[in-house]
Structure 1
């Protein structure tokens, strides 16, 4: 099956070409088996504590779960985020999603804000949220709670037909992303997508790390936990929005986070 595969780490010209053409790509083998197990257990705890019964999402998991905090600046993924967004961005949110066993196919949508839809900002819809989705269960064949995408739809000036949106219908150009636990799907907020059906007897979890320009308001929190700031790394504090603003709001003298490779 055709998949837009890129290699972990450095953002290459081919990565850029694939992202601009499709609106998304897959980074394989990002997490080792023990990292997958830890992040999966952390995800289950978050949803158990939240009492999630059906499809749902829980934010701020990095504040209480070290396994999820460790993925904020993963070295296989962060260079891709920097390559696409540049040096100035924040982690707008971590939304950890659960699709329950035997879950149904969801509705087509673009990511953004229901309070002020991103399509009002321009056409085609601009890149405001860049999502890195860590797959914590295998999705190597259709029917495993996969993401279903419409390649290149981030460049389209029209959306799917109204009938398709209302009835959660299929399209002849949809791509069911088949990948393994530990792989990461990176995609543009304007790509039309939906969760595909989950025909198995276990819950499916995905951790979505959403990166945005520094002037975008966080969507999973009003403030970041002070204890988290105190114990996390300098880079992660910066990515959470804890940095100096010498010129309001983000102008002259705004220093980018001190990413690890800058010190090599």
Structure 2
């Protein structure tokens, strides 16, 4: 019986494979820490056993089928589904997996949470795609709004691979080792203009069951998948819990008392601002300035100074 058969509207996963009870839970080794601080990432071979790979891969396939039925895939059938555990409760076993989670708390400490996650499926590309320069650091507006150099780490990410990426050209993760200490790399004035790859860029190869642990500041991209293999993975980003709102204003914002609040006041109190078609999380990351009240206020008054990165759109 599949997840869709047991619960069409809110799938409940079968019992997850139990992590080996004999596996020692140990912190990051000094050698791992030195490599992580030098390169900005670690490749972790074989952290998932074959039965775990099969379990999570099958569960991910069912989400992909559900998204296909709902018409939410890209034209080539790719899926980038945010809020991994909300979309797939079966994925919960990965957020504190004993083979990987110690690296998270070894770097960030104990006061952490998963603040961002996604499920990815990328079938082979059969029709050429327009060129787009996709090199980036994670964090979005963080990379303009924090003024220190280099910018602080703030978060780390764990990528679990559920398909064979042991050769280049399969949609591999591509990185510039050591670039987590660079606040910028050379790039085109527009993303659709062809541009040389950053010096030192390497495609990370991995087997199903491997993971990659990386600093959010690492300059990276996903390559196109021109193989016969479908690229499948699950991604979990961890940050400190204080990055959440501390005030609890939900009831206030839903009450008659908030009727007279200005749009900027509602933004400052944590109101959801996403318009139709906008992803709420993307909106909070600053990807939609046009529907962010304070941005509109500053723009109307000529107060967006392009010389200062936090005030650029």
Q: CA deviation at 1:64?
A: 5.5
* Mapped contact 2:158–2:237 kept (Cα < 8 A): yes
Range moving further from structure 2, 60-69 or 204-213: 60-69
Q: How far, CA to CA, are the matches of 2:142 and 2:240 in structure 1?
A: 16
Q: How far, CA to CA, are the matches of 1:52 and 1:66 in structure 2?
A: 20
* Mapped contact 1:143–1:197 kept (Cα < 8 A): yes
* Mapped contact 2:40–2:178 kept (Cα < 8 A): yes
Structure 1, gaps ≥5 residues long: 1-7, 224-264
2:212 matches 1:185: yes
Count of matched residue pairs: 211
Q: How far, CA to CA, are the matches of 1:211 and 1:138 in structure 2?
A: 25
1:124 to 126, 147, 150: 150
Larger Cα-atom Rg = 2
Scaled by the length of structure 2, the TM-score of the pair is 0.61
**Deviation readout 1:26-77 (Å, 9 max, x if unpaired):** 1111111121111112222223322323444112332453531111100011
Range moving further from structure 2, 126-135 or 193-202: 193-202
Structure 2, gaps ≥5 residues long: 1-24, 251-313
Equivalent residue, structure 1, for 2:35: 18
* Mapped contact 1:19–1:25 kept (Cα < 8 A): yes
Q: How far, CA to CA, are the matches of 2:222 and 2:181 in structure 1?
A: 21
Give the 3 Å change call, closer, same or farther, for CA 93–140 of structure 1 in structure 2. same
Equivalent residue, structure 1, for 2:198: 171
Scaled by the length of structure 1, the TM-score of the pair is 0.72
Q: How far, CA to CA, are the matches of 1:42 and 1:92 in structure 2?
A: 22
Equivalent residue, structure 1, for 2:104: 81
Q: How far, CA to CA, are the matches of 2:205 and 2:190 in structure 1?
A: 23
Aligned pairs (5 A) from 1:124-163: 124-162=150-188
Higher helix share: 2
Equivalent residue, structure 1, for 2:237: 210
Q: CA deviation at 1:111?
A: 0.7
Q: How far, CA to CA, are the matches of 2:233 and 2:31 in structure 1?
A: 26
Equivalent residue, structure 2, for 1:235: none
2:44 matches 1:27: yes
2:73 matches 1:52: yes
Q: Secondary structure at the match of 1:108?
A: coil
2:93 matches 1:70: yes
* Mapped contact 2:160–2:233 kept (Cα < 8 A): yes
* Larger relative contact order, structure 1 or 2 (CA cutoff 8 Å, min sep 6): 1
* Mapped contact 1:147–1:194 kept (Cα < 8 A): yes
